[in-house]
Structure 1
Amino acid sequence: MSAFSAIGEEREIDREEFTPTLEPQATWCPGCGDFGVLKALKQAMPEIGRNPDEVLLVTGIGCSGKLNSYFESYGYHSIHGRSLPISRAAKLANPELEVIAAGGDGDGYGIGGNHFMHTARENHDMTYIVFNNEIFGLTKGQTSPTSPKGHKSKTQPHGSAKDPVRPLSLALTSGASYIARTAAVNPNQAKEILVEAMQHDGFAHVDFLTQCPTWNKDARQYVPYTDINEADEYEHDPTDRDAAAAMASEAEQALYEGEVLTGRFYVDSDRPSYSEEKQAIGEMPEEPLAERYFDDDYEWERTHDLLLDRHK
């Protein structure tokens, strides 16, 4: 039994299946890095063998929030900073779904920062793509959590006095089990990282550098870039947590000095996901909630009955 009849169907997937007929052409500004995310995501889907009926894309507010308008799958457009709790609930209810959350740097590292930390800590099995353009783009160019110190904007006309958030380090210290950074100017690497992130069993955080030529003209185009997993000058082991911490710190500092370091920073393939941890202690049934809707003989449980039983 399956919550969706399409799940488990083995067939060849065409990336064009993920182009919607209602709004096939994205309307982001010319030169926007968001186009790179959309392209990489479409290219990644055939690699993991998923069709549109097997994918849920949850977005937040901002330019990145339009992603699920241009991507054919189940979609949920949430409010600012709330894409992660909605994604978590969907994945727990139907673990067979490929759940992807997406949002901007202001959405994910600022307004939704608390959800980001705790979703990473609990290691929910999902992919989180953060469009990092170092600016609030949709609201016309305000300083964001990743804007560099000294950056001048409408909200900081004399320059930001705050150090930026370090997203890779934050993800690592919070407990994410897959951490990577890629850029819209590197489509091949972006596709490969998204494939790995979706195949990873646990919380996969992808910091996706997306240039904003309209509202962040001072920002670099994130070129040239260096892949820390391929370059001769780096011998980074992404399975070594201490090495990942040092490499993340170096990459975050280098970004504001004009050097773009991308690649896989940390990968822990042995850590159980949140649902696996809950099942191990008997607090989550092996049969997903979504499956029960398709079982006419299932005897539904009511939460208050379970609570009352514990106190009898």
Structure 2
Amino acid sequence: MSTFSAIDQDREIDREEFTPGVEPQPTWCPGCGDFAVLKALKGAMADIGRSPEEVLTVTGIGCSSKLNSYFGSYGFHTIHGRPLPVARAAKLANPDLEVVAAGGDGDGYGIGANHFLHSARENHDMTYIVFNNEIFGLTKGQTSPTSPMGHTSKTQPSGNAKSPIRPLSLALTAGATYVARTAATNPRQAQEIVAEAIEHDGFAHIDFLTQCPTWNKDAKSYVPYTDVQDSDEYDFDVSDHGEANAMMRTVEDKLYEGEILTGRFYVEDGRPSYGQKKREQGEMPAEPLAQRYFEDGEWERSIDFVKKHT
């Protein structure tokens, strides 16, 4: 079965269809939060009725980026910090494909931060999951962009002298149309948020708190947590940019004070994605390029279908 014949097939999906036969058991450390992301992603795909042939996962480098080794769909393992440009290209070539990019906080908020900003700004229709454990795990415990000030590590033995990045505020400011945070310790909410993000039309960013019991014992397990949608203490409009921004600042401050706030923080519906705009302008064909080449094998140059500048 191809990606094209599988898309929009009406059948019930079992989450175990996303368990690969070659490497079904992840080799993450016991207690790692990455297991929760894998579980949430499998459950979300089954909930929304996507089959493995309809999905592409694109990852960077790091513990988190082993995701597509353990997730049975099409997969592409890129170099450090580069999952988003590859994911964007795949989505533009085949807009019917469900594209999920993933990486760690070092991968996504460090070396890949520029791609993060512009993917959000251009509102590419995809989901971006950042496994945020506030440390570089695969390389054994160096300070990352989300490590709190004062945190000691191999690279900051006297304590981190830098303020941590604010990923939620950054995503909102850059132009993401869906912004959320969840945690490995809240599997019900995590699966719901991942499913919502996948179904969202536009760039959906999930900051997924994933504890690292091996190299970041300071972060514990991100418990207890508060779901802001279930709390009477936090009342804001997720569709209001200003209210969302204020709430995100609160959430990001409280994380390093020991209070974990999770939930949906911004949702904007109706804004056209980058691919939609390009097709409306006549700069991309309505029919997916990938399907065109798959079916008849006749390759075209962009100059053949893009309007000439006059």
- TM-score, length of structure 2 as denominator length: 0.96
- CA separation in 1, counterparts of 2:81 and 2:232? 38
For residue 183 of structure 2, what is the aligned residue in structure 1? Answer: 183
Change (3 A) 1:215 1:281: same
1:220 Cα deviation after fit: 2.8
Gaps of 5+ in 2: none
Give the match's secondary structure for 1:103: strand
For residue 271 of structure 2, what is the aligned residue in structure 1? Answer: 271
1:287 Cα deviation after fit: 1.1
Asked if 1 retains the 8 angstrom alpha-carbon contact of 2:3 and 2:53, the reply is no
2:286 aligned with 1:286, yes or no? yes
- CA separation in 2, counterparts of 1:161 and 1:293? 52
- CA separation in 2, counterparts of 1:32 and 1:295? 43
Equivalenced residues, count: 309
2:173 aligned with 1:173, yes or no? yes
Give the residue type in structure 1 aligned to 2:191. Answer: K
Give the match's secondary structure for 1:142: coil
Give the match's secondary structure for 1:76: strand
Give the match's secondary structure for 1:35: helix
Change (3 A) 1:306 1:13: closer
Give the residue type in structure 2 aligned to 1:115. Answer: H
1:177-222 Cα deviation digits (max 9, x unpaired): 0000000000000000000000000000000000000000111311
Q: Which moved more, 1:285-294 or 1:142-151?
A: 285-294
Percentage of matched positions with identical amino acids: 73
Give the residue type in structure 1 aligned to 2:36. Answer: G
- CA separation in 1, counterparts of 2:3 and 2:28? 34
1:291 Cα deviation after fit: 1.9
- CA separation in 2, counterparts of 1:129 and 1:63? 13
- CA separation in 2, counterparts of 1:93 and 1:39? 28
Alignment RMSD? 1.6
For residue 161 of structure 2, what is the aligned residue in structure 1? Answer: 161
Change (3 A) 1:161 1:291: same
Give the match's secondary structure for 1:214: coil
Change (3 A) 1:311 1:67: closer
1:112-148 Cα deviation digits (max 9, x unpaired): 0000000000000000000000000000000000000
- CA separation in 2, counterparts of 1:101 and 1:306? 29
For residue 43 of structure 1, what is the aligned residue in structure 2? Answer: 43
1:295 Cα deviation after fit: 4.1
For residue 114 of structure 2, what is the aligned residue in structure 1? Answer: 114
- CA separation in 1, counterparts of 2:111 and 2:50? 31
- TM-score, length of structure 1 as denominator length: 0.96
1:65 Cα deviation after fit: 1.1
Asked if 2 retains the 8 angstrom alpha-carbon contact of 1:128 and 1:204, the reply is yes
For residue 248 of structure 1, what is the aligned residue in structure 2? Answer: 248
- CA separation in 1, counterparts of 2:3 and 2:42? 24
For residue 301 of structure 2, what is the aligned residue in structure 1? Answer: 302
Give the match's secondary structure for 2:43: helix
For residue 258 of structure 1, what is the aligned residue in structure 2? Answer: 258
Give the residue type in structure 2 aligned to 1:303. Answer: S
Give the residue type in structure 1 aligned to 2:215. Answer: W
- CA separation in 1, counterparts of 2:266 and 2:25? 35
